[in-house]
Each structure stands twice: as C-alpha cells, then as structure tokens.
Amino acid sequence: MLRRIDFYEEPRFFLIDIKPKKTLRDALFEVSKKPGIASIDFSKVEVRIENSNSPLSLDSPVRHLANLTVIATVNLEDNCQIQDILESYRAHLPPLPSHLYVSATECELNSLELPESWTVYIDHKKLSDNEKKKQNIIWETIHFESSYLKKLKMLVDVYVSPFYDLIQRGFFTDLDMKLIVSNLKEMYFQCCSRWNNVILPFIESIKEGNLMQVDNFKNLYNIKKMSALGDEISDLFQEEHVYHMTVDKLKDYIKNAIRNNSDFSKFYTWVNEILWGLGKHELSSYLTAPMHHLTRHTLFLERLLKSTKESESLKACLERIKNFLKGVEEELRMRERLEILSEFENRIDGYDFIDQIPNLSENLKKSLKISFTSSMAGCPEDWLRRFIREGVVRMKESSRHHDVILCLFTDFIIICRKGRKFEDRVNLKIYKPPMRLDAIHIQQNENNEFVIAYKNEMNIITAIYVFQTQDPWFEEIQRTKQTYREMWDGKKDKNDELTYCMRDYSSNDLFPHMDCRSKTDGVNSPILGKSHRDINDNVRRRPAILKKSHTWGGKDDHRPPSRIPDWEKVQQLVQDGHLEVS
C-alpha cells in the first residue's frame, strides 16, 4: 500500500488500493482529488521507498509496492515562476519565434476590418431585389472569412506564441509540443496567404465600386475554370485537412496535460482569462472553429444558388467543396475504424488452438498472428472490415460445457476465452481457429441452440461447434454472412457508413502470410477530392470461377458436369488406329 506522501513539506498519510494495471501516477492522481490537496505537477514529484534513495518511476505498478511505505515529495522550487511570467504577458504578448515564420507572411490587420454593408462601396439604388440579395450573401461570406482569420490570429497570439516562449524558457519539457498546438500556426499562415492573394484583390475591386460577380467570387475557392477543377480545393485547405485529422487527439492530450502538469494547467487557465477579458469565447471554442469553416461556406453557396442564374457553375463549386468535406469525414471514420480493429488486436493474449512447438521458424510464428486491419478475402482491397458483435455464449463440447466469447466481424468469426483482466478491458485468448463466414454453415436447433459447421478448402466439414444462448447470435451471423456474400459482387454493406475511397492496403487475406505481395502497415491518404478508381475493379478482374467457388461463398457449381463417354465413337477410333488402349 502507498502509505505516505509528503506535500509541501507537510506529511500526509494515505492508503491506496492495489488494483491491476494501476501505476504510481494513477495513485497520486487519486490522492490529488481528495479534499484539501492541491493538484499535483507530476514533473515535480519524486517517489521513493522509505529508507531508499533510489527514485521510482511514476509508471511503476503499485502491486509491487504492497505493504511498503512509499514517500512522494513535491518539489516547490520555482513554483511561482510561471505565474510571474504569465502576468508579464498581460502587458506584452510574446511574438512567435522568428524561425517558425519560414517564408510565411501575415496579413495586415487593417485589411480585416470591413464595414457591415457592401453598400458603402457600391451604389445599390438601381439594383433589383434579387441582385441585392446576391450581393448580401457574397459580402456575408467575406465577413465570415475575416472573422475566421481573426480567430486563428487570436489562437496564435494568445495560445501558440506564449506556449513556444514558455518552452524556450524551460517549461513543459515533458509535453509533446505537436500534440499541444498541432498545425495551428501553419493553418493560420495558409489562411493569411489565401486572404492576401485571393480575397483581398476581390475586396479591392469592390472598393472601386464594382459589383461582386459570381465568376470572381469563385476565386475565393481558387476555382477559376469550372471545366478543369483539378485539385485546388484540397491544396487550398490542406492545413485544415491535417488539423481535422489531429484535433481529437489534441483535445484529449490537452485534457491530460491539464490534469498531470500544474504549469500547463496555470497556462491554460491564463489563456481563458485573456480570451474572456477580451469578451471572447474560451479556448476550446477556438480550437473547434476550423472544424466548421468549410461547412459554413457550403451554406453560403447554397443560399447563393437560389438567387443566381449561373447555377451550373456554382453547383460544381459547391459539389467540389462537399466532396472535400466528405473525404475528410471519410478518413476520420476510417481512422476510427482502424483504431477499433487495432485495439481489438492488442487484446489478443495468445492462441490456444495450437500447441506451442519449440524451434518453430520465424515465418511460421508470424502465421500465428492475425492481422485484423488487413483486407477481406474476395473484396476490393480498399474495403475495411467492421467489428460487429462480441458476447459470451455457452459452448457444448463432448467433455464439458463452458462459457466462451464469440467475436463477429464482417468476414469471419472467432471463438475466444477470457485472458488477463485489466481495469478497462478483458484480454482474449483465441480458443478455436478463425472461421471465414463464406466457409461456414449455420443451423438453428431447439432450446436456444445453434450449430456452426466449418468447411475447409476441399469443401469438407472439419469442425462442428454447438452453442447455447438467448441472444440473437444466429440471426446476426446469418445476416452478416449474407452481407459478406453480397460484397464479393461489389455491393456495399448497407450498415457500413464508409464509402471506402481512402484506404490502400496491399494485403488481400486475413492471414498476412498467405499473401506474397508487398505489404503496407499504414493508411495512404490520396489528395482529397480526386476521382478514385472504381471499387468494383478488383471484383471484375477476379476470375469468374472464383466468384462461384465455395471458398468465395458460392456453390461448387464451377466444376464441369460429369460426362458419359460415347463408347461407340471410342471403339471406332481404336479400330482406325487413332486411339491406343493401354
């Protein structure tokens, strides 16, 4: 048990429960939540066993310290220093370090200040109501872009620049800089470039009294010729795309940093105080602003479409942006799917369905590992399996009846047993070999029983498993099996929200050792918005005989029909000397 912690030279005694996977860091965090205890900056904590001078790692498991007295000392040296620095920032915010500018150029603050109405520059008295409405929408779009750029600048000035300055002063040495600020400054500079090179010339034309034309307005999205769109949208908003991919990790990392680092907690509080003092929203609101940027632009374009005759041109522009956003959302969902599959793979403790053989070659050892993120057999390579269901069922075997865990995926099912147990999860041991759904036959019996029969490549049943459960496993497996069969002909799983346009894996089988081609472990993300190859290409190239093979889910009707020889013809061939009989 953790028996003693010295806080600020005042000893306090605590009893800590011993739980699996709990570390000293977890124990200290529990203590910090007790009444009268301030938050602990783990970078300033030293932990050691009583009568020992050797410090312990905060990641040490507490189960090794049972019945020992452990002393944790908080070092208060220079504790107030960061607070003094933050107070000095109120008078003068530190600039962004010069080496981070590279060749980037900020925009003039004066150029972001715009009048509320475009009528300051343009004579509107002779314009029709519809034309006025169109001008209002365009001007509102420019105003929104100005407001967005101001938010990014506020993030850089109040959050990013002070953070970098504090790093140079020796703070936050235990934090990952990229997970704290992501690519906020790069996104800001890219937005400045777009403002200076695309939007500002448009505004200058308006100031000269020229009406805001739709053709010029399309330049805001860097699309000048709608017949040759290219990839300008994805180029223009590339940094936003990167930020979309990292913002969730950024939020989680900041939340943990606030909990584990008191200096960063003070800094985060200071940032919010500055923003509130300026009558602005809190920092978390600013960090989510880029997520809604292009979505707002689609709303502006949809409104503009209703008030202009140049609908085809604007429709193409709108569709281009929507495709970009759809690609971003697709990749986010794909990453989430991969994380779920990878997390499941990490839960596998071992494989009980084969005896451990000494001196097994490395290649064969690799064959014991299942790759849950590899491609599905019989499907296009860019389709990714789903984790569908997991649950406990009763398995009936000749020697015993016992509980097992069934895990169902898009293309296969595995029978597992419980492995090691942790606080947040239960690991699994694979009890029986994985079974592809196209190679199983499932039958429902009485008394809530169902049977799974597994066929090998010779279409011979090699295993029969009997289960009993009140849960609808039979229906779920049948439905998933049918969906998997349909996917071989290019029909997408209707329950799957992914459109499979972002993934490029070379593995084609569940077991990676069965594929002789080169493999990639990551997800390649082509430029968003490009036209992708037809997902059915793989299916069309697959030989027809494989489509109908039982291994691919069809019947064995690919075998040629048996023929009865024409014995009269055979006899005539022998008599004529054209056929020899041995």
Q: Determine, yes or no, domain membership for 429.
A: yes
Supply the mean pLDDT for the chain.
76
Q: Determine, yes or no, domain membership for 412.
A: yes
Q: Are residues 366 and 431 in the same domain?
A: yes
pLDDT at 257: 92
Q: pLDDT category, 508, cuts 50, 70, 90?
A: very low
pLDDT digits (tens, 9 = 90+) for 215-262: 777 767 764 433 333 445 656 678 888 898 889 889 999 999 998 888
How far is Cα of residue 228 from the mean position of the Cα atoms in its chain?
A: 32
More confident residue, 223 or 67: 67
**Alpha helix segments (H runs only) across 226-310:** 232-236, 238-260, 262-277, 283-288, 293-305
pLDDT at 580: 54
Q: Determine, yes or no, domain membership for 90.
A: no
Helix (H) or strand (E) holding 47: strand 45-49
Q: Determine, yes or no, domain membership for 343.
A: no
pLDDT digits (tens, 9 = 90+) for 445-478: 988 999 999 998 888 899 999 999 999 999 999 9
Q: Are residues 264 and 368 in the same domain?
A: no
Strand ranges inside 169-217, DSSP E:
none
Q: pLDDT category, 357, cuts 50, 70, 90?
A: low
More confident residue, 357 or 241: 241
Which range marks the domain in which residue 125 is found? 118-335
Q: pLDDT category, 415, cuts 50, 70, 90?
A: very high
CATH number for the domain spanning 401: value is 2.30.29.30
Residues 489/419, Cβ–Cβ less than 8 Å: no
More confident residue, 282 or 228: 282
CATH number for the domain spanning 34: value is 3.10.20.90
pLDDT digits (tens, 9 = 90+) for 23-43: 777 777 777 666 655 556 666
Q: Are residues 327 and 366 in the same domain?
A: no
Q: Which of 56-65, 71-80, 315-324, 531-540 has the lowest mean pLDDT?
A: 531-540
Residue 14 clears pLDDT 90, i.e. is over it: no
Which of 556, 544, 562 lies closest to 460 in space, CA to CA? 556
Q: Are residues 325 and 370 in the same domain?
A: no
Residues 138/297, Cβ–Cβ less than 8 Å: no
Average pLDDT over residues 509-533: 30
Q: Which of 109-118, 153-162, 215-224, 291-300 has the lowest mean pLDDT?
A: 215-224
Name the strands in the sheet holding 45-49, side by side, starting at the edge strand that comes first in the sequence.
10-13, 4-7, 70-74, 45-49, 55-56
pLDDT at 229: 36
